[in-house]
Amino acid sequence: MSLFTVKMKMLTAVVLDGYSDKVVKALLEEGVMDFVHISQLDSDQAQRLSSHRADVPQGTISDLRGRCENLLRQGNIDLPSINKAEVDSLGRFNAEECRTLLDGLSGKINELRDKQKNCNQKLLAYSELLSYIKEKKTDYLDLRYGKISEDRKPEDLAARLSSYCAVTGQDEKGWLVSLSLRRDSSRISEVMDKFGWTENPHGSKTAMTLASSLVSQKIEEYQKEIDQLVLQISQLIRKDEAQLSKMWIMLRVSELSEHVESYFSYTKNTTLFSGWVPASRAGEIETVIYEASKGKCIIEWTDDSEVDRDKIPTSVDSARILAPFARMVSNYGTPEYGSVNPTPFTTVAYIVMFALMFADVGQGLVLLLIGIIGGQYYKKHPMAKDGLISRYLCSLLMFLGPASMVGGLLFGSYFGYSLFPALWFNYHAVVNGHAEGGLVSSVYDILGITIKFGIIVIYTGLILNWINLFRKKRYLELVFDKNGLVGGALYALGIYACYYFVGTGYRSLPSNPLLYAGIIICLVLLIVKGPVYACHRAKLSGHREKVSAVITDTVMDFFVQVLEIFSSFLSNTLSFMRVAGLGIAHVSLMTAFEDMAAMTGNIIAYVLIMILGNVLVIAIEGLSAGIQSLRLNYYEFFTKYFTGHGIAYEPVGFTSRVRTE
């Protein structure tokens, strides 16, 4: 893991046309190159080059790949992984061959599905009969018990009636039973008349039972047939598994190659391409290209210092274990190239915030267990869809559970009970007003702690911003920006003044002349910011702005900046009071459940209420604390140093998720 974003280098290579295919495959295998269009580099040179012309349109390859994936999915076959040996053994891609195979297979499946449909329709019809029998809706049924002419066969009658989804059978006395839907009665009667049906006037008590078993038998028959067809479809696909897998690899490689080659430019005999790779992999990539092109290539490297930072893609190298927090960062945006990697800081800030809001050893243990069990489940069932407790949540709970447990140890909370002495202070006792002595004895003390925590977080954000600005060589911003040194100084002076004011019981402001001198210096710096920036712009563009315009901008900017610095720092700091708020709510809820449980005077009711209380608190408070921690990171912490304006580094390789349409 690196503290800053990964250092990049831009490669520009020219290879002989005949080797470009091998180079593409070698680069795909490495999967570290983020390609850029040559046209973006040098417009004069680009005009002399021709662009890539695909043999088969990319859309066709993507469609075929999609069809292939679809069939593999229907056969419950996982997508194959692509490795070098398989790529080397691939033959020439032939769209027509692929299409023929896919059409043939898909046509056969279609035929089987058609048979499945017919069975399903029969199944539905008999299921309707059975549901009326089970629900005793005999009004909708037509049960007949009788005989047919001796010259007619019962099998013929059964065959004729089966088109109405009626069942017929013979009981032990030789009488025939027929069950159909009453809505088909007239048509059934017509058929039966032709068979000379005579109804038994005494009826039978067992006729419905016999009919019911006949219907169940039919349902079973058709269900079996459907299962058989589903199995046949699966077997049909599995029979061609090897061919389909190979085809998928071929299509995917062709698709990726086409995607990569779309960045290429060509002269008569050479191929020219360019892209970004991590500086640490530069030597490796160079070797790969040399080997693939048998040395018939020219490679040039461009250092990151020679290109505008805002054009360099950002790669963030975070430890794998921090993946849940890396995702929080990427959801917010991509860090600028060369800036601080926000993931480790986010990890610490998020975990501490959560621990302060949701501090309980028992409940933390439950969160940890959910994370472990969920993680194990998804490990065993890699194809399972994410449920309410998703894969991501499980991995996050692996951090939040222990964090909550540590918080519980510090504040002495075990499923809402103070079973052991707190290592820091007893949160329950403080909130419920019976804390004895100690540095923290009231909710105001807790609020004070969270505000101090907020100040630490905000200052960390400011310091990270100063480091980023220094590395980006944006010295003017470093000094004059609201999140720069002036803003930081004003914030520090404001904190000092506020603490003094609170310390005197809200009676007087500090009289220290250094404070006022500091404020005046900062305000002067904010005023001179306008003219300094104007001079800088003039120096860069060689064009001087009108003095009146500079003065107007300076005055406007000064007022806006002052207002923004005072209001935003104040609100950002006070925002951290929510950490205390959530913690207090957590304790209050557990106390309320305990009181309710005690009122019952029954041990079983007591235990049930406490279990229910814990479940509700874990679900509701846990969710709340998670959301509030995220919110504090995004709005109070990230806004100080993380612009999210970077370009994401998206290398193309066999395992990358590039989708080309």
Partner 1 sequence: MDRVSRYSYINAKLKAKLGVMRSSGLIEAMIKAPNLTEAIGLTAGTQYDSLSTVYEQSGDLQAVELELFSREIALQEFIIRSLDERTASFVSVLLKKTERENIKNAVRLWYSANILNHRISYRAAYIYKDRIVNDIDWIRIINALSFDDVKAVFRDTSYYPVFQPWTDQRLANEGLFDFELELDHSWYDELFAAVSHLDKADREVAVKVYLVDVDLKNILNLIRYGYYHSFASDKLPAVFIPHGSLYSVLEPRIEKGQLSFSDARSLIERRYPAVGSLLGQLDLRTQQSVSHDELAYGTLAVENYLASRRKKEFTSILTGDPFTIGTILSYIYLCKIEDDRIKLILSAKYYGWSEEQIRRELN
Site string for partner 1, 65-104 (x = CB under 8 A): -xx--xx-xx---------------------------xx-
> Which residue lies nearer to partner 1 by CB, 45 or 121?
121
Q: Closest separation between CB of residue 181 and partner 1, Å? A: 7
According to DSSP, the β-strands at 313-314 and 647-648 are parallel
> Which residue lies nearer to partner 1 by CB, 10 or 165?
165
Q: Closest separation between CB of residue 104 and partner 1, Å? A: 11
Separation CA 38–CA 613 (nearest Å): 63
Q: Closest separation between CB of residue 67 and partner 1, Å? A: 6
Q: Closest separation between CB of residue 287 and partner 1, Å? A: 39
Binding span for partner 1 by CB under 8 A among 182-190, 331-339, 458-466, 486-494:
182-190
Q: Should residue 115 be labelled a site residue for partner 1 when binding is judged by CB under 8 A?
A: yes
> Which residue lies nearer to partner 1 by CB, 244 or 451?
244
> Which residue lies nearer to partner 1 by CB, 233 or 469?
233
Q: Should residue 182 be labelled a site residue for partner 1 when binding is judged by CB under 8 A?
A: yes
State the first-to-last Cα distance of the chain, in angstroms, to the nearest integer: 34
Q: Should residue 140 be labelled a site residue for partner 1 when binding is judged by CB under 8 A?
A: yes
Separation CA 624–CA 630 (nearest Å): 10
Among the listed residues 2, 39, 51, 106, the single contact to partner 1 using CB under 8 A? 106
> Which residue lies nearer to partner 1 by CB, 64 or 449?
64
Separation CA 649–CA 334 (nearest Å): 9
Q: Closest separation between CB of residue 237 and partner 1, Å? A: 11
Q: Should residue 232 be labelled a site residue for partner 1 when binding is judged by CB under 8 A?
A: no
Among the listed residues 46, 49, 112, 208, the single contact to partner 1 using CB under 8 A? 112
Binding span for partner 1 by CB under 8 A among 137-145, 152-160, 538-546, 565-573:
137-145
> Which residue lies nearer to partner 1 by CB, 179 or 522?
179
Q: Closest separation between CB of residue 324 and partner 1, Å? A: 22
Q: Closest separation between CB of residue 139 and partner 1, Å? A: 7
Q: Closest separation between CB of residue 161 and partner 1, Å? A: 11
How far is residue 161 from each of residues 153, 184, 185, 220, 389, measured CA to CA in Å? 13, 10, 11, 19, 52
Separation CA 182–CA 128 (nearest Å): 12
Residue 359's region, left for phi above 0, alpha for psi from -120 to 50, else beta, is beta
Q: Closest separation between CB of residue 295 and partner 1, Å? A: 43
For residue 210, what are the contacts with CB-CB under 8 A and spacing of at least 6? 169, 171, 177
Q: Closest separation between CB of residue 121 and partner 1, Å? A: 4
Q: Should residue 58 be labelled a site residue for partner 1 when binding is judged by CB under 8 A?
A: no
Run of H or E including 313: strand 313-314
Task: With CA atoms as reference, report the closest residue to 565 among 641, 481, 460.
Answer: 481
Binding span for partner 1 by CB under 8 A among 22-30, 136-144, 200-208, 314-322:
136-144
Binding span for partner 1 by CB under 8 A among 11-19, 60-68, 447-455, 609-617:
60-68
Separation CA 122–CA 215 (nearest Å): 11
> Which residue lies nearer to partner 1 by CB, 172 or 661?
661
Q: Should residue 194 be labelled a site residue for partner 1 when binding is judged by CB under 8 A?
A: no
Among the listed residues 113, 224, 239, 536, the single contact to partner 1 using CB under 8 A? 113
Separation CA 594–CA 358 (nearest Å): 17
Q: Should residue 516 be labelled a site residue for partner 1 when binding is judged by CB under 8 A?
A: no
Q: Should residue 217 be labelled a site residue for partner 1 when binding is judged by CB under 8 A?
A: no
Separation CA 434–CA 343 (nearest Å): 40
Task: With CA atoms as reference, report the closest residue to 31 among 278, 364, 299.
Answer: 278
**Do residues 451 and 578 lie in contact, with contact meaning Cβ atoms separated by under 8 Å?**
no
Q: Closest separation between CB of residue 435 and partner 1, Å? A: 38
Q: Coil, strand, or helix at residue 12? A: strand
> Which residue lies nearer to partner 1 by CB, 39 or 120?
120
Give the pair of three-digit tokens for residue 133: 């029998």
Q: Should residue 109 be labelled a site residue for partner 1 when binding is judged by CB under 8 A?
A: yes
Give the pair of three-digit tokens for residue 373: 């069990």
Separation CA 456–CA 463 (nearest Å): 10
Separation CA 169–CA 162 (nearest Å): 12
Q: Should residue 229 be labelled a site residue for partner 1 when binding is judged by CB under 8 A?
A: yes
Give the pair of three-digit tokens for residue 340: 């601080």
Q: Which own/partner pairs from 519-528 qualify as long-range (CB within 8 Å, at least 24 positions apart)?
A: 519/490, 519/493, 521/489, 522/486, 522/489, 522/490, 522/493, 523/562, 525/479, 525/480, 525/486, 526/480, 526/486, 526/558, 526/561, 526/562, 527/554, 527/558
> Which residue lies nearer to partner 1 by CB, 380 or 385?
385
Q: Should residue 125 be labelled a site residue for partner 1 when binding is judged by CB under 8 A?
A: yes
Considering only residues 142-181, where is the footprint of partner 1 by CB under 8 A?
A: 163-165, 181
How far is residue 524 from each of residues 422, 466, 486, 562, measured CA to CA in Å? 49, 20, 10, 11
Q: Should residue 120 be labelled a site residue for partner 1 when binding is judged by CB under 8 A?
A: yes
Bridge partners, residue 648, by sequence: 314
Q: Closest separation between CB of residue 588 and partner 1, Å? A: 24
Q: Closest separation between CB of residue 133 and partner 1, Å? A: 13
Task: With CA atoms as reference, report the closest residue to 638 among 202, 229, 258, 335.
Answer: 335
Considering only residues 256-285, where is the footprint of partner 1 by CB under 8 A?
A: none
Q: Closest separation between CB of residue 328 and partner 1, Å? A: 19
Q: Should residue 139 be labelled a site residue for partner 1 when binding is judged by CB under 8 A?
A: yes
User: Considering CB under 8 A, how many residues would be counted as binding partner 1?
Assistant: 43
Separation CA 554–CA 559 (nearest Å): 9
Q: Should residue 122 be labelled a site residue for partner 1 when binding is judged by CB under 8 A?
A: yes
Separation CA 8–CA 304 (nearest Å): 6
Task: With CA atoms as reference, report the closest residue to 200 among 184, 181, 180, 176.
Answer: 176
Separation CA 171–CA 210 (nearest Å): 7
> Which residue lies nearer to partner 1 by CB, 140 or 414?
140
Q: Closest separation between CB of residue 56 and partner 1, Å? A: 15
Q: Which amino acid is at 237?
A: I
Site string for partner 1, 518-557 (x = CB under 8 A): ----------------------------------------
> Which residue lies nearer to partner 1 by CB, 119 or 272?
119
> Which residue lies nearer to partner 1 by CB, 12 or 74?
74
Interface residues with partner 1 (CB under 8 A) are 63, 66-67, 70-71, 73-74, 102-103, 106-107, 109-110, 112-117, 119-122, 124-125, 127-128, 137, 139-140, 163-165, 181-184, 186-187, 226, 229-230, 661
